[in-house]
């Protein structure tokens, strides 16, 4: 979750505060600007004070899509490498490991391609993945919505004909046109609002579809595995996410004088990084809403979904505070672990007291 904003050097007040506190001493520190992240990277840019907004939107819409598919349309798919019914707890662990390994291989592959072909390759990688995901996921959920609309009418020949036209001609054509426009605006529009909308849209599509397809306990294992991977990928000196940010920011030199000077000021307490603006990764939004959507489908209890969402928001807030002393931090671990912990407490209460 990198941040960026304009550099601001705040001077001490002319009048000395007789009772200095933490807030006043914080304001007296130099605010150090972070590296700019290129526009085409899939991040949601927002002021730090408004960070709950995209998370809540993703959680609500992804949960609604998952609920309509799972409960209303009664489409229940249970797909994983190792079925939980057959392999039990071992299957849960193996599913978590497999998805984490796939994420790791994908990340290192991207770094290899970046170093081999340059940052331009990212546009093709994102274009291919975004186009594939947005087309098939949009088509799937639109088909479900159209089905739920038409099922309300009497099953006459006219209704069946209209349903056939919508599901086999109109919806696929409109989806294809929409995906082409989505990709065009993502790569050629300089509007932050347009890009934010696309990042948010893709993240909620991915989370809603995964919550429907993956079994619940395997989903938790995957989220835990991906969270640990996020720690490594971001914080380790040669972690792939950290490396990608350095490369695309044209700041791949860890020994650059400016980088060393900034880090020394941070360590000495003379400065803090600017966190007035945030960049929330598309993966963070997708996995936050994946957790809440999965909890909704497993419990069918809106209260525990709300509590899990609140835990995620608290975890994100804690991560943002940590960004004052770190150039970049993993966005998943604290939020996901707090969210899963909230669900675990709920389960214990249900199991032993209800």
Instruction: Delimit the domains of the chain by residue range.
Output: 28-120+195-353
Q: List, for residues 309-350, the tens digit of each pLDDT value.
A: 999 999 999 999 998 888 888 999 999 999 999 999 988 888
Mean per-residue pLDDT of the chain? 85
CB atoms within 10 A of CB 345: 13
Mean pLDDT of the region 66-89: 89
Mean pLDDT of the region 129-156: 92
272's enclosing H/E stretch is strand 271-273
Write down the pTM of the prediction.
0.87
Residue 127 in this model has a pLDDT that exceeds 90: no
Query: Among 18-22, 68-72, 256-260, 348-352, which is the least confidently predicted range?
Result: 18-22
Residue 19 in this model has a pLDDT that exceeds 50: no
The Cα 267–Cα 245 span in angstroms is 22
Residue 161 in this model has a pLDDT that exceeds 70: yes
Structure tokens at 23: 């807030």
Q: List, for residues 21-49, the tens digit of each pLDDT value.
A: 544 445 567 787 776 677 778 899 999 99
Q: CB neighbours of 54 closer than 8 A, spacing ≥ 6?
A: 44, 46, 196, 200, 280, 285
């Amino acid at each position: 979750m990198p941040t960026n904003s304009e550099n601001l050097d705040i001077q001490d007040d002319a009048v000395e505060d007789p009772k200095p506190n933490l807030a006043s001493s914080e304001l007296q520190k130099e605010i150090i600007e972070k590296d700019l992240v290129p526009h085409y990277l899939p991040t949601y840019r927002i002021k730090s004070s408004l960070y709950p907004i995209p998370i809540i939107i993703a959680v609500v819409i992804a949960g609604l899509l998952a609920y309509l598919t799972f409960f209303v349309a009664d489409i229940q798919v249970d797909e994983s490498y190792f079925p939980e019914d057959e392999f039990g707890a071992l299957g849960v662990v193996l599913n978590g490991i497999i998805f984490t390994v796939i994420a790791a291989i994908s990340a290192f592959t991207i770094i290899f391609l970046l170093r081999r072909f340059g940052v331009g390759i990212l546009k093709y990688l994102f274009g291919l993945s975004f186009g594939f995901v947005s087309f098939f996921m949009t088509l799937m959920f639109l088909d479900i919505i159209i089905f739920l609309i038409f099922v309300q009418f009497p099953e006459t020949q006219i209704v069946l004909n209209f349903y056939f036209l919508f599901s086999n001609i109109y919806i696929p054509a409109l989806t294809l046109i929409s995906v082409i426009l989505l990709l065009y605006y993502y790569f050629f529009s300089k509007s932050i609002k347009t890009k934010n909308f696309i990042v948010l849209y893709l993240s909620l599509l991915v989370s809603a579809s995964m919550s429907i397809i993956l079994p619940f306990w395997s989903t938790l294992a995957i989220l835990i595995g991906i969270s640990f991977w996020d720690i490594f990928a971001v914080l380790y000196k040669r972690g792939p996410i950290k490396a990608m940010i350095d490369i695309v920011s044209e700041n791949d030199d860890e020994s650059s004088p400016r980088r060393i000077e900034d880090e020394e000021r941070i360590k000495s307490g003379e400065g803090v990084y600017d966190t007035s603006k945030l960049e929330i990764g598309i993966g963070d939004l997708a996995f936050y809403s994946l957790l809440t959507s999965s909890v909704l489908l497993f419990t069918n209890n809106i209260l525990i979904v709300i509590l899990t969402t609140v835990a995620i928001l608290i975890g994100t807030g804690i991560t943002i505070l940590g960004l004052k002393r770190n150039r970049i931090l993993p966005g998943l671990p604290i939020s996901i672990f707090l969210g899963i912990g909230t669900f675990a407490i709920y389960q214990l209460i249900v199991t032993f007291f209800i």
